[in-house]
Amino acid sequence: MSYGDTIPLHPSSQSDIDEIENLINAGAHSATVLPARAPSPSRASIPVSHSPFPLPPYQKMPPSSSPTPVVSSVPAAAATTTTAPGGSSRIGISTDALESPPDTLTEPVFDTVKRDLTRIVSNLKLVVFPNPYREDPGRALRDWDLWGPFFFIVFLGLTLSWSASVKKSEVFAVAFAILAAGAIILTLNVLLLGGHIIFFQSLSLLGYCLFPLAVGALVCMLEGNVIIKIVVVSMTLAWSCWAAYPFISTAVNPRRKALALYPVFLMYISVGFFIIAID
């Protein structure tokens, strides 16, 4: 989620002055959220996604003169924040074209929590449920986050472990390890096939696509009949595969689509078997 996107109009066609005007106007309407595009996740100013690693190709640091603070949209919030380090220039508007949105360095904690939670929900909706943006997968999971996948993997592991009558710990550990390692390996697979996908975005995607299987596992835990289990698992499996398909297939060369998709489906199918077979 690039900064420019937090402003209602597309940044590439914006002049600096327009952006500043938009900020002023947006600030007047209050709220911490400036949605950039309709269904996109609440682009509340700045992303606080999480994950580690590599190098920034370029570092867009706030202009050295005034990197701090906060733009109009958080004036009220800034007053209630426990610390507002950028005291003097708290309600300033950065004039840098790329760094104009409100600065989350000084936002209250509750806002951060809310923003992250909203992002998880919107990512889930984007990936798993039908929506117009699925066909443009690059945009759909722009604000990747790993919290959703984390919850789903743990939940799936717990459900499987609960359903197991013996060796509960091993079941959990194995489920967690397989899902986590599987996601990493599948991502590497796509990358090695010459695909254009970002590591964490792909991890995030594969994790979110576990949601249907997690639901299926929950249902199977509560329901003992094998036939019903098989039906439920196949439905949720199909749902998971359908969810994962557009993202993976657009990431690679069309001739290598099958090579990239096959391991993904294989992993989900084996999880499905695991769910059915557990007793």
Partner 1 sequence: MDRVQPSGENYANPKTCFFHVLFKAAALAFYILSALFVNSFVIIFVVTVFLAALDFWVVKNVSGRILVGLRWWNEIDDQGESVWKFECLDQESLARMNKKDSWLFWWTLYLTAVCWIFLGIFSLVRFQADYLLVVGVCLSLSIANIVGFTKCRKDAKKQIQQFATKTIASQFTSSLQSAFSVV
Least separation in angstroms between residue 230's CB and partner 1 is 26
- How far is C-alpha 22 from the geometric centre of its chain's CA atoms? 27
Q: Please, which residue, 168 or 256, has the CB nearer to partner 1? A: 168
Residues 190-219 that bind partner 1 (CB under 8 A): 196, 198-201
Residues 6+ positions from 218 with CB-CB distance below 8 Å = 159
Q: Give the SS3 label for residue 42.
A: coil
Residue whose C-alpha is closest to residue 233's, from 267, 266, 269: 269
Query: Which residue type, as a one-letter code, is found at position 25?
Result: N
- Phi-psi map region of 194: left, alpha, beta (phi>0 left; psi -120 to 50 alpha): left
Q: Which of 74, 78, 120, 158 binds partner 1 (CB under 8 A)?
A: 158
Q: Cα separation of 96 and 84, whole Å?
A: 21
Least separation in angstroms between residue 145's CB and partner 1 is 10
Residues 48-107 that bind partner 1 (CB under 8 A): 48-62, 64-69, 82-83, 85-89, 103-106
Q: Give the SS3 label for residue 8.
A: coil
DSSP state of 122: H
Q: Which of 32, 159, 161, 189 binds partner 1 (CB under 8 A)?
A: 161
The residue count for binding partner 1 (CB under 8 A) is: 63
Q: Please, which residue, 11 or 263, has the CB nearer to partner 1? A: 11
Query: Which residue type, as a one-letter code, is found at position 60?
Result: K
Question: In the stretch 217-256, what mask flags binding to partner 1 with x, by CB under 8 A?
Answer: ----------------------------------------
Q: Which of 72, 97, 118, 176 binds partner 1 (CB under 8 A)?
A: 176
Q: How is residue 19 written in tokens?
A: 């952006």
Residue whose C-alpha is closest to residue 205's, from 175, 189, 184, 191: 184
The reply on whether position 1 binds partner 1 by CB under 8 A is yes
Q: Please, which residue, 58 or 130, has the CB nearer to partner 1? A: 58
Q: Cα separation of 10 and 127, whole Å?
A: 23
Residues that bind partner 1 (CB under 8 A): 1-3, 12, 46-62, 64-69, 82-83, 85-89, 103-106, 109, 112, 116, 138, 142-144, 147, 150, 154, 157-158, 161, 168-170, 172-173, 176-177, 196, 198-201
